[in-house]
């Protein structure tokens, strides 16, 4: 077992002194203190009280590949080429992109921690140890890169539906790929989807879908976030679903959604988008390079582009990857 994982589980059993930890680990107290400091640096809240020793502020909720797989419906399990959990990676998306081109079955990778988690446009994604869900899935498609148009929207729709199925009923999708919860005019980010890929113009291609979902945000990690956010702990009265349950729900939604997208394209998902659209009817500002366009969000076009009604009453469309969108008033 990974030494950090073992230490985390030991601390989760209750307060334990440095002397006891040193004896159990066969290390000096100074070495134990250094390991505790490394856990804190990774985002784990470890308290220390004189006379009581070290204790975790929250019980560890560690990922388990076997438990995730067992929670999946049999048809979903049959479509998996692999499901692995790593302790620490730079990025689950980046790791899958380094692997060979996949076939039509899904290859799934999760990590307890990411040291280089990424969002759209190269933004940093806070990825503290054992706090959130960092999950990526890669799958092959035939027919060239054009086949992947709209896939980000499909992944976002399926992810919102998965979280709603876990009782997080207020979550919605802010086009194109943010999972958000509205609090008055403000949209608080719960998670995000990043779709990457590559391959031949008219031949086999790969799609790598990555998602991060905030489960229980450590205070130290929250200090580095510059936008409104929320987590499952806040939305579920401090009793969020387990990280394994979240991962299983996402996969149970994603795998069949990708099969349907491969078969039927984006069209079947457009009515589903209307039920989870966080921007519908809201005033928005769309940034395209140096241009700022203001209007009212009016859903999406047949190709998944955002539709905005501008001041003169006309409609303009904007494609994912070219724009940034903010709901005026704080979203």
The domain locations on the chain are 3-56, 65-275, 279-327
Q: What per-residue confidence (pLDDT) applies to 181?
A: 96
Strands 306-310 and 186-199: unpaired
Which CATH number does 65-275 carry?
3.30.930.10
Mean predicted confidence (pLDDT) in 63-77: 98
Tokens coding 165: 């199925």
Element (H, E) at 163: helix 151-165
Contact (CB, 8 A) for 289 and 149: no
Which CATH number does 3-56 carry?
1.10.10.10
pLDDT (tens digit per residue) in 122-159? 566 668 999 999 999 999 999 888 889 899 999 999 99
pLDDT (tens digit per residue) in 189-220? 999 999 998 888 888 999 999 999 999 998 87
Contact (CB, 8 A) for 93 and 118: yes
Tell me the C-alpha distance between 269 and 69, whole Å: 26
Decide which of 106 and 59 is more confident.
Answer: 106
CA distances from 35 to 22, 24, 40 (A): 11, 14, 9
Whole-number mean pLDDT of the chain? 90
Q: What per-residue confidence (pLDDT) applies to 272?
A: 98
CA distances from 134 to 23, 118, 148, 150, 221 (A): 34, 11, 22, 22, 15
- Model confidence, pTM: 0.91
Tell me the C-alpha distance between 20 and 186, whole Å: 48
Contact (CB, 8 A) for 26 and 15: no
Task: Please enumerate in sequence order all residues whose Cβ is within 8 A of that of 116, keeping only pairs 6 or more positions apart, or say none.
Answer: 90, 91, 94
**CA dihedral sign, ordered 264, 266, 270, 272:** positive
Tell me the C-alpha distance between 331 and 179, whole Å: 12
Question: What are the φ/ψ torsions at residue 117 (nearest 5 degrees)?
Answer: -60, 140
Task: Please enumerate in sequence order all residues whose Cβ is within 8 A of that of 75, keeping only pairs 6 or more positions apart, or say none.
Answer: 256
pLDDT (tens digit per residue) in 7-61? 999 999 989 999 999 999 999 999 999 999 999 988 899 999 888 899 998 888 9
Task: Please enumerate in sequence order all residues whose Cβ is within 8 A of that of 248, keeping only pairs 6 or more positions apart, or say none.
Answer: 67, 68, 71, 72
pLDDT (tens digit per residue) in 235-292? 997 688 999 999 999 999 999 999 999 999 999 999 999 999 999 999 998 987 778 8
CATH 2.30.30.100 applies to domain 279-327: yes
């Amino acid at each position: 077992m990974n030494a950090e994982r073992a230490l985390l589980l030991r601390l989760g059993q209750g307060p334990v002194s440095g002397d006891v930890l040193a004896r159990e680990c066969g290390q000096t107290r100074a070495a134990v203190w250094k390991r505790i400091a490394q856990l804190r640096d990774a985002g784990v809240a470890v308290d220390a009280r004189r006379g009581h020793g070290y204790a975790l502020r929250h019980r560890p909720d560690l990922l388990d590949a076997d438990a995730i797989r067992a929670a999946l419906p049999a048809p979903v399990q049959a479509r998996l080429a692999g499901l692995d959990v790593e302790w620490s990676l730079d990025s689950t998306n980046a790791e899958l992109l380094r692997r060979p081109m996949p076939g039509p079955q899904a290859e799934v990778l999760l990590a307890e921690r990411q040291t280089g988690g990424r969002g759209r446009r190269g933004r940093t994604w806070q990825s503290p140890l054992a706090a959130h869900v960092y999950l990526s899935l890669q799958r092959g498609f035939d027919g060239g890169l054009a086949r992947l148009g709209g896939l980000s929207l499909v992944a976002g729709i399926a992810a919102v539906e998965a979280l709603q199925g876990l009782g997080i009923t207020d979550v919605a999708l802010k086009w194109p790929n943010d999972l958000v919860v509205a609090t008055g005019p403000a949209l608080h980010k719960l998670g995000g989807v990043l779709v990457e890929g590559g391959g031949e113009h008219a031949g086999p291609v790969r799609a790598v879908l990555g998602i991060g979902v905030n489960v229980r945000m450590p205070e130290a990690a929250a200090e580095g976030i510059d936008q409104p956010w929320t987590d499952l702990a806040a939305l579920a009265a401090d009793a969020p679903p387990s990280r394994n349950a979240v991962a299983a729900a996402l996969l149970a939604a994603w795998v069949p959604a990708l099969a349907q997208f491969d078969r039927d394209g984006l069209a079947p998902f457009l009515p589903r988008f209307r039920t989870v659209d966080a921007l519908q009817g809201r005033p928005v500002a769309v940034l395209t390079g140096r241009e700022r366009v203001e209007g009212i969000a009016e859903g999406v076009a047949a190709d998944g582009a955002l539709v905005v009604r501008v001041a003169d009453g006309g409609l303009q469309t904007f494609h994912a990857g070219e724009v940034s969108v903010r709901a005026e008033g704080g979203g």
